[in-house]
Amino acid sequence: MKKIFKALKFIGFSLFTIAAIVACDKDFNSIESDVIGLKNFDISNNQIPIVSFNKKLDSLKINNLNANLLGVFNDPTYGQTSASIITQLTPAEYNPSFGTNPVIDSVVLTIPYYNRVTGTDSNNNTIYTIQDSLYGSAPIKLSIYQNNYFLRDFNPNEDLNVTQNYYSNASGTINATDNFAITEAGPINFDTQKGALIFENDDFVPSSDAIILKTTATDGSETTERTIPALRQNLSPDFWKTLIFDKEGDPVLSNSNNFYDYFRGLYFKAEAINNDGNMILLDIAGSGSNITIYYSYDSTVEGADKITDTYVLNFTGNKLNTFINNYNLVSLENGDATNGDEKLYLKGTEGSMAVVDILSGNVDCDGTQETALNCFKKMYRAVDSNGNYIIKNGSYVLKKLINEAQLVVHEDETMSDDFHKYDRLYAYDIKNNISLTDYNFDPSGSTTDAYNSRYVHLGQRITDDNGENAKYKIRITEHLNNILLKDSTNTKIGLVLSTNVNYTTNSPILNSNDIVTGIPSASIITPRGTVLYGSNESVPENKRMSLEIYFTDEN
């Protein structure tokens, strides 16, 4: 007998078919099975409650993320965020010898943008786009300063070799113009720690154009090289001559520790122009990101041309992504953990997330008041003649087998479809700060296409035939099976917005006394926000968050 159990606070279930793996922008297709019959199921006529509520975020770990945001972004629902970067630089070689009479020819900063190939032009040159990682198109003011604040590697207040973490402070409570981070010792204002201005552009807009490099040989022949789109700028040689070349033979160029203390890195500061701007996701941790000093020096052969060489500084070492949030359109607050919230606000860059308790509170379980969790176990586990749960090979035996379980979440229809077309939700285990078990069972992982990765478990935004009524279906089958078979107590799931569901590292929250002690790092570098319907009984039944479970009754 095939039955359907739907856990949904205060409402019933509408029949639909078992989910199949489908194309990313479609709803689930129907498939046939050898399980027959369908009926509604509840617990003594009282549905198991689901509670979903908002969690306001702050003090998130922001150092050494796998990518970094730079710029200004105006979210139409939340307000404005500016993102800046503080980063160390590491020489590619130590104890350099620059030769006799070295002269710097040029200094070039290169940081690639995340890009996608869209085709070729009439000359068979590759065409790129950076639109997947660019938010907004208005210019910003970009300034690059010398950073004078020492970013230490280890926390002096912890045991040996415990890494020093830096945390976000984006609310503007100190001031709304400077970029801050915090540690256990207190706030750090990087604007009061900035040194010389190295570069400034009052009209900066990232471009999808390939970088074209032309080289002229000594015989006059010219070669052309095309590379991927990047933030590529010429810097003043004078600064780098004083900083690097004049220190030849000095201990400051002998190892990384000495160099980090001597030159403490760069501060990339982004500022809005006329309250507008753009924000770009930078691959600053990639191997193609560096500052290259091109120089020449005298040959030992009399009359010979000068010898050319390079000295490279890589963007390795500590990197921080700081944010200034002016969420003037929505007030983010911690939600109602008892009754649930009507709207769920998911916003990156130290914004907000949702907590979903899938088996919350007490229920009438065959005439007895019990926790929803215990009643759920009673419904699905087999018992012996004495009424005790049966255990075989270390797992509980089930009388009802879960075939499919989906958390169905509806989007607030007042938001723009175009803006949220490519949003992805990411669900994680709050207790252990890891992906849900279903993530590892998902066969659709893609290392080359994050948008089309893990769509069996995490789903994708789907709409009806009119492009309306957007919703998400998140598969949590194995998560529930762990509760039934292994006695897991992980009933609370975190929901965040993510631009890369392949990036599963979690960032801790400083001094958290809450059930949420960390969040997925990908959500920190997700500039967009979305609004979803929650579980509060004031939400219309057809929009309220629900848990849909398909099971086979073995009786």
Which residues, 6 or more positions from 440, have their beta carbon under 8 angstroms from its beta carbon? Answer: none
Segment among 15-19, 105-109, 313-317, 439-443 with least mean pLDDT: 15-19
- Last residue in a domain, options 326, 356, 386: 326
Q: How would DSSP label each residue in 242-259?
A: HHTGGGTTSGGGSSHHHH
Residues 387 and 284 in one domain: no
- For the chain, the maximum distance between any two Cα atoms, rounded to a whole number of angstroms, is 102
Q: Is the pLDDT of residue 203 over 50?
A: yes
Distance CA 352, CA 530 (A): 10
Q: How many folded domains does the chain comprise?
A: 2
Segment among 157-171, 311-325, 330-344, 486-500 with least mean pLDDT: 157-171
Task: Give the model confidence (pLDDT) of 438-463 as tens digits.
Answer: 999 999 999 989 999 999 999 999 99
- Last residue in a domain, options 272, 297, 326: 326
pLDDT for the residue 8: 40
Residues 113 and 40 in one domain: no
Distance CA 92, CA 88 (A): 13
Task: Give the model confidence (pLDDT) of 159-192 as tens digits.
Answer: 778 899 999 999 988 999 999 999 999 999 999 9
User: Does 71 fall in a domain?
Assistant: no
| Percentage of the residues of the chain whose pLDDT score is greater than 70 | 91
Q: Is the pLDDT of residue 1 over 80?
A: no
Which residues, 6 or more positions from 185, have their beta carbon under 8 angstroms from its beta carbon? Answer: 157
Backbone angles phi, psi at 292, to 5 degrees: -110, 125
User: Does 69 fall in a domain?
Assistant: no
Per DSSP, the chain holds a count of helices (H) and strands (E) of 7, 37
Among 415, 410, 426, smallest CA distance to 532 is for 410
Residues 35 and 117 in one domain: no
SS3 529: strand
User: Does 67 fall in a domain?
Assistant: no
User: Does 72 fall in a domain?
Assistant: no
Q: Is the pLDDT of residue 18 over 80?
A: no
- CA distances to 110, 239, 321, 463, 524 from 168, in Å: 26, 31, 8, 35, 10
Q: What is the mean pLDDT of residues 273-280?
A: 98
Bin 159: left if φ > 0, else alpha if -120 < ψ < 50, else beta: beta
User: Does 392 fall in a domain?
Assistant: yes
Paired tokens of 91: 């020489």
pLDDT for the residue 41: 37
Cα-based torsion angle of the residue sequence 326, 332, 334, 340 in order, rounded to the nearest 10 degrees: -160
Question: Is the Cβ–Cβ distance between 281 and 499 less than 8 Å?
Answer: yes
Task: Give the model confidence (pLDDT) of 208-241 as tens digits.
Answer: 999 998 887 767 778 889 999 999 999 999 999 9
Question: Is the Cβ–Cβ distance between 347 and 80 less than 8 Å?
Answer: no
Q: How confident is the model at residue 555 (pLDDT cuts 50, 70, 90)?
A: low
Q: What is the mean pLDDT of residues 374-386?
A: 93
pLDDT for the residue 7: 46
231 residue type, one letter? L
Q: How confident is the model at residue 39 (pLDDT cuts 50, 70, 90)?
A: very low
User: Does 73 fall in a domain?
Assistant: no
Task: Give the model confidence (pLDDT) of 232-243 as tens digits.
Answer: 999 999 999 999
User: Does 68 fall in a domain?
Assistant: no
- Last residue in a domain, options 293, 326, 359: 326
Residues 365 and 318 in one domain: no
Q: What is the mean pLDDT of residues 74-99?
A: 97
Residues 378 and 392 in one domain: yes
Q: 259 - beta bridge partners?
A: none
Segment among 64-78, 274-288, 484-498, 540-554 with least mean pLDDT: 540-554
Residues 535 and 405 in one domain: yes
Higher pLDDT, 162 or 54: 54
Residues 438 and 501 in one domain: yes
Residues 316 and 387 in one domain: no
- CA distances to 44, 122, 177, 346, 397 from 383, in Å: 19, 72, 63, 42, 8
Residues 311 and 449 in one domain: no
Q: Where are the beta strands (DSSP E) in 245-318?
A: 266-272, 279-282, 290-298, 307-314
pLDDT for the residue 48: 58
Residues 316 and 354 in one domain: no
Distance CA 204, CA 271 (A): 10
Range of the domain at 523: 2-58+330-553
